[in-house]
Amino acid sequence: MVWLTAALVKASPSASNDLFGSTDNLLRLLFLAFGGALVVGNVMALVRPPAPSDGGDSTTPIRPPLARCVTMIVIGLVAVVWALATLISG
């Protein structure tokens, strides 16, 4: 049984070579994901605002503040560009 455990330990990938290639890229991939989510979420909020609740008198959707959405889109784009640049450069 000991030889089977030793064989499995030798066959398993090291901690630096996991599903995403390397744990060094994890922070870069997280920046890419969160930056992309910021961009997509805020663009969708501007394009198609959420429907009003049932208790509201108005049938027109309430638009989110434009300055906040544009600021979040810019922050998300900076994070995406930075993450892509660092992932591509190595």
Q: pLDDT tens digits for 29-66?
A: 999 999 999 999 999 999 987 776 666 566 677 788 99
- Domain-by-domain residue ranges, the chain? 34-50+61-90
CA-CA-CA-CA torsion sign (64, 66, 72, 76)? positive
What's residue 63's pLDDT?
82
End-to-end Cα spacing for the chain: 41
Using CB atoms within 10 A of its CB, is residue 78 exposed (0-12), middle (13-18) or buried (19+)? middle
Q: Measure Cα distances from 71 to 15, 37, 74 in Å.
A: 37, 14, 5
Average pLDDT, the chain: 78
What's residue 18's pLDDT?
55
What's residue 53's pLDDT?
67
Cα-based angle 18, 75, 23 (whole degrees, multiple of 5): 10
pTM here is 0.67
Check whether 67 has a pLDDT greater than 90. yes
